[in-house]
Amino acid sequence: MIVLLGTACKPEEFPGARERLKGPSTATSPARAEAGDETERTDSSAAEVHTRAEGEVLSTTPGAEKSSAPAATPVVPLGATPPVRGLWVLAEGSVRALDDPARIAPLLDRAERIGVTDLFVQVYRGGRAFYAAEPTVERAPSVATGSVDSLSILIRDAHARGMRVHGWVNVLSLSTRRDAKILTDLGRDAIHVDRRGRSLLDYPDFDLPEPDRQFYRMGTPGLYLDPAVPAVRARLVATFRDLVSRHPGLDGLHLDYIRHPDLLPFIPGSRFGVGLEFGYGAVSRARYREETGNPDPIEGAAAGVVRAPEAWDAWRRKQVTTLVEEIGAATRAARPGLMLTAAVIPYVERCYLSLAQDWPHWLETGALDRAIPMVYTLDDQLLRYQLEGYSGLTGADRIWPGLGVWLFASDPSRAVAQLQALRNLGFGGEVLFSDDAIEKAPALLEALAVRPARTPASASARPVAGTPVAAGR
């Protein structure tokens, strides 16, 4: 997960994201990256840049890498009472544990070494399932009919070691897969349309057409499904209900890319006559007119004007919230006690105004059990500001910050220092991105194998894997 100029993405979701930051002369085009995305993904997971959260290009701040480095951090052995420690496990990174059951034990060995309590295992990416899904769901090439169910093996073996397993699903992102089965089945209306009436399917190289490209860029290029389209919501809800039904041992469902596409620079809502945003498809606007009685937000309006912008923004925001609620209702019914979590952009106002991702509200209502803001940054002061800012939110006790330890493969002490800062603020959990980065950096693995010191009063007990987790607050 990278944080690009005001948004947070995972490096594997758009291979070449690191190269794009270097400028057009060295950028890897999305089309080329998709063709060779295994190599690009492998490289980017250890990249030493900081971009989206799903944010600013923080790593380019002069001297940020050196000036914010803290002094030696006190550490305690792994046996000290830890909070929840999660670990993101990629489906298509360099390890690919679900491709071969023989890779599961080494993954669990690493996780056990660094005290992981919760594994967030990517099982649905780019519209493809990395498990034996029902027939309407496209399977990844590695999941042949009749093949061994690696996910069930991983769940069983992780539980035997006292770890919980969450199925990590990229909900609305199709990556750069124009041939995704869900898109073939549902048609063009399933894909987001921008304010100027252009579908993401018509964006060259999955980024803005000219002349807009001179002024705006996609934070995380690719194709995104529009949650305002009922057929999209129905298909995704059915897919994830099937996932938890076929794998009743899953302890949680972890939602990622549960938001609108992000553009840079972003605009704080549709009331401004400049900038671009999404959700303007014909189906979306027709439903809005019918449900609210308001006129079409853009049809017949003056150039750059959106009618009733606050109402339009609230309606689009509600579509994402409704999808979260529907997924939660269906999957919790199929698997009582299932924990529903989401990887979210760490900038609360930006999420609310620009990305239709109102995750604080999801926590308030119990639609979401835990939020995992992706606070990936090289800037320790910014990290502190972000973490301290969450303390006033309703449900702050159910926030598990996600840290980009991959940024510190060459200086693991920085990762330990950021964990120390998180612990000092009393969060009940932390999630690390990612196993691939840790597997490739032995020094990082060793640094994470000892736990940062924390105040005993803020510690929480290690969860028992395989036991139900209460939904809601």
Quickly count: other Cβ atoms within 10 Å of residue 226's Cβ.
Answer: 28
In which residue are the tokens 């609108």 written?
Answer: 260
- 181: amino acid identity, one letter: K
Buried b (16+ CB within 10 A) or exposed e, 196-219: eebbbeebebbbbeeebeeebbbb
CATH superfamily of 2-452: Glycosidases (3.20.20.80)
pLDDT value at residue 417: 93
Question: Distances from the Cα of 228 to the Cαs of 126, 200, 386, in angstroms?
Answer: 19, 15, 30
**Has residue 371 got a pLDDT over 90?**
yes
In tens, the pLDDT along 297-317 reads: 999 888 888 999 999 999 999
Q: What is the DSSP letter of 239?
A: H
Average model confidence (pLDDT) across the chain: 83
Helix axes 282-292, 309-334, angle to 10 degrees: 100
Phi and psi based region of residue 188 (left: phi greater than 0; alpha: psi -120 to 50; beta: remaining): alpha
Higher local confidence (pLDDT), 455 or 50: 455
Q: From CA 114, how far away is CA 416, in angstroms rounded?
A: 12
Q: Taking a C-beta distance cutoff of 8 angstroms, is the pair 363, 384 a contact?
A: no
**pLDDT classification of 445: cutoffs 50, 70, 90:** very high
Token pair for 394: 């309703």
pTM of the model: 0.83
Model confidence at 94, in pLDDT bands (50, 70, 90)?
very high
* Nearest residue to 464 (alpha-carbon basis) of 362, 339, 364: 339
Domain limits of the chain? Answer: 2-452
Decide: helix, strand or coil at residue 214.
helix
pLDDT, one tens digit per residue, over 272-296 is: 878 899 999 999 999 999 999 999 9
Q: What is the DSSP string of 155-210?
A: HHHHHHTT-EEEEEEE-SB-TT-TT-HHHHHH-GGGB-BBTTS-BGGGSGGGSPPT
